[in-house]
Amino acid sequence: MVEARLRVIYGDTDQMGVVYYANYFRYFEFARSEFFRGHGGSYRELESTGLLLPVVEASARYKASARYDDLLVIRTTLSELRRASLVFTYELLRDGPSPTLLCTGRTMHACVGRDGKPQRMPEAIARLKALDV
């Protein structure tokens, strides 16, 4: 599991200062990038090999609202690894003395080549799953 932190900016909120629901998926994307960095790599490096990990399914369960200027912690886990797909799960919390769970989420990704055809998951990602258990 890798933890990423970010502060909610005003542009991510509605007129009431509450984070617009679709922005949680942007936060999940940020956390995925930090997951790869936290394991010594980057998504850019994966792309340079000709492989891509497009999102093919995404879900979020909202528990409480994130608000302008909140410091968020996003915990990311590589929870499933298949031959040509993987699943990340997320817990998004408001940081503080008593962290508050705001949202949980899940994204499934296909492993495809630049031609869009399924490819076998690279060994480097299989090793990440072993580390993330």
Q: Choosing from 12, 14, 95, 115, which is the catalytic residue?
A: 14
The reply to whether 14 belongs to the active site is yes
> Exposure pattern of 35-57 as b/e (b: 16+ CB <10 Å)?
bbebbeeeeeebeeeebbbeeee
C-alpha torsion 46→48→54→60, nearest 10? 50
E-assigned strand segments in 1-133 = 2-7, 51-52, 55-62, 71-81, 85-94, 100-110, 112-113
110 DSSP β-pair partners: 85
The distance of Cα 20 from the centroid of its chain, to the nearest Å, equals 17
CA-CA distance, 126 to 105, in Å (whole number)?
21
Catalytic residues: 14
